[in-house]
């Protein structure tokens, strides 16, 4: 399995992966509503350090930044590059501004390829840790709770805040 993209939202985690099947490869686009493990979110938000380094901006920029997604590309020989998407809450407008890093290589090039790792070793390790957490999530390692399903567009289908559905007056036929 190769992860190609991972997106974290308040109510879902979406991942796009490439899997090997008997006749080649297949892309799968999966949206899951199970909450990730706390280590997933911790590893994801640790990428703020990588963002400020890659964009060559000061550490104070990490304030009011939220990492939201990562895109991963793979060369034919397996060398990985990533782009990190994030939201930055702007002080003047109190609105979120979507930004992303350019694609940067996180592995040394494989034999027969050109290029070099384009981030510091510790930043490559932070990215690799998040990819490991995302792969674990995609493989089913998740917290034992559901994320909120209310997207603001539909009626609430699930009981909220521990409410139980009342079946006491249900009639049997």
Tens-place pLDDT, residues 25-42: 999 999 999 999 999 999
* 144: in domain: no
Residue 58 near residue 169 (C-beta atoms within 8 A): no
* 171: in domain: no
Q: What is the tens place of the pLDDT at every residue in 84-101? A: 999 999 989 999 999 999
Per-state percent for the chain, helix, strand, coil, to nearest 5 = 20, 30, 45
Q: What is the tens place of the pLDDT at every residue in 36-77? A: 999 999 999 999 999 999 999 999 999 999 999 999 999 989
Cα 158 to Cα 118, 146, 148, 151, 170, distances in angstroms: 46, 11, 9, 12, 18
Q: Return all residues near 60 (Cβ < 8 A) that are at least 6 apart.
A: none
Residue 131 scores a pLDDT above 70: yes
Q: Of residues 159 and 89, which shows the higher confidence score? A: 89
Tell me the residue range of the domain where 125 lies.
2-138
* 41: in domain: yes
Query: 3-class SS at 138?
Result: helix
C-alpha 69/C-alpha 134 separation (Å) is: 11
* 19: in domain: yes
* 131: in domain: yes
* 83: in domain: yes
* 17: in domain: yes
Residue 124 scores a pLDDT above 70: yes
Mean pLDDT score of the chain, rounded to an integer? 88
Domain count, the chain: 1
Cα 52 to Cα 15, 62, 72, 162, 167, distances in angstroms: 24, 7, 19, 40, 54
C-alpha 172/C-alpha 55 separation (Å) is: 64
* 75: in domain: yes
Q: Looking at the DSSP assignment, which residues form a beta bridge with residue 31?
A: 14
């Amino acid at each position: 399995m190769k992860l190609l993209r991972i997106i974290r939202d308040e109510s879902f985690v979406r991942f796009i992966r490439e899997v090997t099947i008997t006749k080649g490869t297949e892309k799968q686009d999966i949206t899951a509503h199970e909450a990730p493990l706390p280590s997933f979110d911790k590893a994801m938000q640790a990428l703020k350090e990588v963002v400020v380094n890659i964009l060559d901006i000061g550490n104070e920029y990490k304030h009011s930044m939220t990492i939201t997604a990562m895109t991963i590309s793979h060369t034919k020989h397996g060398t990985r590059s990533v782009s990190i998407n994030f939201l930055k809450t702007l002080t003047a407008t109190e609105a979120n501004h979507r930004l992303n890093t350019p694609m940067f290589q996180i592995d040394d090039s494989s034999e027969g390829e050109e290029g070099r790792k384009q981030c510091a070793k510790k930043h490559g390790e932070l990215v690799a840790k998040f990819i490991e957490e995302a792969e674990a999530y995609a493989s089913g390692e998740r917290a034992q709770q559901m994320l909120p399903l209310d997207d603001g567009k539909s009626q609430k289908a699930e009981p909220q805040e521990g409410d139980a559905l009342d079946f006491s007056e249900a009639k049997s036929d």
